[in-house]
């Protein structure tokens, strides 16, 4: 693939973890509309539920980070925070009693850094959630946790494993010493290796590594060394994220100069240096940026065509409701998105007043919902059926990509061949009427590559 293509298509586009994307949300639900949406989505006794709990605390700031975090060394903050998360769940269960009766499929602890909380606090959080959902037969859920190796202990891993957690995601990012220094995140392969050993011994079934390409200081040679280290540690899955650079939202990213950040073909080459040895070692490439061993549940979901994409990235199961608890957490139902307050002091105050802490959201129109399904199909299955009007529109809108062989349109079937995978976000913009209607004057999204 020529570097011209990367220069041509490396423009700011959404990552499509939702549709409409967050900047396009314009129809926030009231608390009553939001709980009514949950009620509708859970009306059927066979409906399923996922819970996402956002634990925002981190001891120090990694300067690349795009997550919603609270940087503090005061570990006394996690216990009152957990109380508020449990109060938030109480509030929902009072307003939407079916929440406690439907099957809990997934319980994900994300952040920030969930393992900022102690083993005892994590145990209290999970026990508190499961006791509130006891009627749901919550014993069958898949539990997963994001862990920063620098602050994660065997005791925390054991506490969660005892509560039937089976998935662990370790933030590895990169082992290159210069990159670690530049992004303020020093962690050795030995530290990660010891946690992998602890997690395997405790019985975790799927271990994921998060890596990032496009960070300052990375070179093809450093990425090759990273690939070698990673293959030695043999995770079950990997998320290999493109560095999302949004300095207008995350000022710490201003610490890097433009000259330090690889873009376009140079950046994509770093991804390819990781990708090739992973494929050679038998991992499958899933969606836009994930890899998994063929027997991992994520790979099985991809093979079965049931992979889904939400705010947590690619996920193996789509449930009728994803309920996000905690500061800045995002929820998704059939016809609504909902995000909690992003400022922790405001979140705390609103929970203490027994209010649903809505920050923003979006009630989806029928057209939004149809476009969401099409974007999910493109992002997960690389194929989607268009109606006649869309097919005519696609011939025009996607003409450059069709000519460059990055997309294929046969009748009303739009496909993304292997060559187009790197440009999947650009192709998805075809379905995004908000993006197409308003090409923003100020940057809103990270670049596509
Ligand atoms: C909440 S963190 C993971 C847990 C823990 N805080 C840690 O860092 O190990 C989620 C993941 O998002 C990814 N991430 C954060 N900021 C990013 C950015 N600007 N671009 C791409 N990926 C990013 C990182 O790979 C990180 O592991
Ligand atoms: S990457 Fe993880 S540890 Fe670093 S600041 Fe972001 S959430 Fe915290």
Question: Residue 90 falls within a domain, yes or no?
Answer: yes
Please tell me whether residues 148 and 268 are part of one structural domain: yes
Q: What are the tokens at 364?
A: 């989806």
What pLDDT shows up at residue 2?
61
Say whether 424 sits in a helix, a strand or coil.
helix
Residues 416 and 433: their CA atoms lie apart, in Å, by 20
208 pairs with which residues across the strands?
169, 237
On whether residue 16 sits in a domain, the answer given is no
C-alpha count within 13 angstroms, C-beta hemisphere, residue 244: 18
Among 66, 69, 117, 327, which residue has the most ligand 2 atoms within 8 Å of its CB, making it the best to mutate? 69
| CATH at residue 405 | 1.10.10.920
Residue 6 token pair: 């990367």
Query: Does 12 reside within a domain?
Result: no
Q: Is 426 in the pocket of ligand 2 (CB under 6 A)?
A: no
Which stretches does DSSP call E strand in 85-163? Answer: 103-111, 142-147
Asked if residue 449 belongs to a domain, the reply is no
**The two structure tokens encoding residue 423:** 């440009």
Of 331, 346, 380, 414, the residue nearest 16 (C-alpha): 380
What pLDDT sits at residue 442?
57
Measured from the alpha carbon of residue 114, the closest ligand is 1
At 104 the pLDDT is 93
Q: Ligand 2 centroid vs 219 CA: distance in angstroms?
A: 22
**67 touches ligand 1 (CB under 6 Å):** yes
Q: Who's near 338: CB < 8 A, 6+ residues apart?
A: 29, 34, 324, 330, 331, 332, 358, 361
Asked if 347 and 417 sit in the same domain, the reply is no
Q: Measured between alpha carbons, how far is residue 375 from residues 15, 93, 272, 382, 419 in Å?
A: 11, 32, 25, 9, 19
> Which 3 state secondary structure label does DSSP give 103?
strand
User: Tell me, what CATH number does 294's domain have?
Assistant: 3.80.30.20
Q: Residue 186 Cα, ligand 2 centroid: separation in angstroms? A: 12
User: Is 10 within the bounds of a domain?
Assistant: no
Neighbours of 441 (CB within 10 A): 6
- Segments of the chain with pLDDT less than 70: 1-2, 135-139, 440-445, 449
Q: What is the number of the ligand closest to the CA of 111?
A: 1
Asked, for residue 11, whether it belongs to a domain, the answer is: no
Token pair for 408: 């294929």
- Tell how far the Cα of 117 is from the centroid of ligand 2, in angstroms: 14
Q: Whose CA is nearest to atom 26 of ligand 1?
A: 171
Q: Tell me, what's the pLDDT at 438?
A: 80
Residue 196 CA, ligand 1 centroid: distance in Å:
18
pLDDT of residue 138: 62
The phi, psi pair for 248, rounded to 5°, reads -75, -15
* Residue with CA at minimum distance from ligand 2 atom 2: 112
Number of folded domains in the chain? 2
Report pLDDT for 254.
Answer: 87
Terminal Cα-to-Cα distance of the chain (whole angstroms): 14
Give the residue numbers spanning the domain of 343.
24-363
Nearest protein Cα to ligand 2, atom 7: 112
Q: Which ligand is nearest to the CA of 69?
A: 2
Looking at ligand 1, which atom is closest to the CA of residue 113?
6
Dihedral of the alpha carbons of 345, 39, 362, 48, in degrees to the nearest 10: 90
427 with 279, same domain? no
Residues 393 and 350 in one domain: no
Q: Which residue has the tokens 């290159």?
A: 176
Answer whether residue 14 is part of any domain: no
């Amino acid at each position: 693939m020529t570097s011209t293509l990367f220069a041509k298509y490396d423009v700011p586009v959404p990552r499509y973890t939702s549709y409409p994307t967050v900047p396009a949300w314009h129809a926030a639900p009231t608390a009553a509309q939001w709980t009514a949406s949950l009620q509708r989505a859970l009306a059927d006794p066979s409906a399923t539920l996922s819970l996402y709990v956002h634990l925002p605390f981190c001891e120090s700031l990694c300067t690349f980070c795009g997550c919603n975090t609270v940087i503090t060394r005061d570990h006394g903050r996690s216990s009152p925070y957990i109380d508020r998360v449990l109060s938030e769940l109480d509030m929902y269960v009072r307003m939407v009693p079916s929440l406690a009766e439907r099957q809990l499929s997934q319980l994900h602890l994300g952040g920030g850094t969930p393992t900022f909380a102690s083993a005892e606090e994590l145990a209290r959080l999970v026990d508190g959630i499961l006791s509130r959902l006891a009627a749901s037969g919550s014993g069958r859920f898949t539990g997963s946790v994001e862990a920063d190796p620098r602050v994660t202990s065997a005791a925390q891993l054991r506490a969660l494993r005892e509560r039937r957690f089976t998935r662990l995601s370790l933030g590895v990012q990169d082992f290159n010493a210069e990159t670690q220094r530049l992004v303020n995140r020093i962690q050795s392969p030995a530290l990660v290796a010891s946690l992998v050993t602890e997690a395997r011994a405790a019985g975790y079934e799927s271990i994921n590594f998060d890596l990032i390409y496009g960070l300052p200081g990375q070179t093809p040679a450093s990425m090759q060394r990273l690939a070698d280290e990673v293959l030695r540690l043999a995770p079950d899955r990997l998320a290999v994220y493109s560095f999302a650079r949004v300095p207008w939202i995350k000022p710490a990213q201003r610490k890097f100069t433009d000259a330090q950040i690889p873009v376009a073909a140079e950046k994509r080459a770093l991804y390819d240096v990781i990708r090739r040895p992973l494929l050679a070692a038998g991992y499958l490439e899933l969606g836009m940026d994930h890899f998994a061993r063929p027997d991992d549940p994520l790979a099985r979901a991809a093979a079965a065509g049931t992979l889904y994409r939400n705010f947590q990235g690619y996920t193996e199961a789509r449930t009728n409701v994803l309920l996000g608890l905690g500061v800045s957490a995002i929820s998704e139902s059939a016809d609504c998105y909902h995000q909690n307050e992003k400022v922790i002091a405001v979140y705390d105050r609103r929970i203490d007043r027994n209010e649903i802490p809505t920050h923003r959201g979006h009630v989806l129109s029928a057209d939004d919902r149809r476009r969401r399904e099409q974007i999910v199909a493109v992002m997960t299955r690389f194929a989607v059926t268009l109606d006649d009007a869309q097919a005519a529109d696609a011939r025009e809108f996607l003409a450059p990509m069709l000519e460059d062989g990055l997309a294929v349109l046969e009748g009303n079937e739009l496909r993304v061949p292997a060559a187009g995978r790197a440009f999947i976000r650009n192709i998805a913009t075809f379905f995004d009427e908000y993006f197409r209607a308003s090409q923003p004057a100020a940057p809103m999204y990270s670049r596509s590559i």
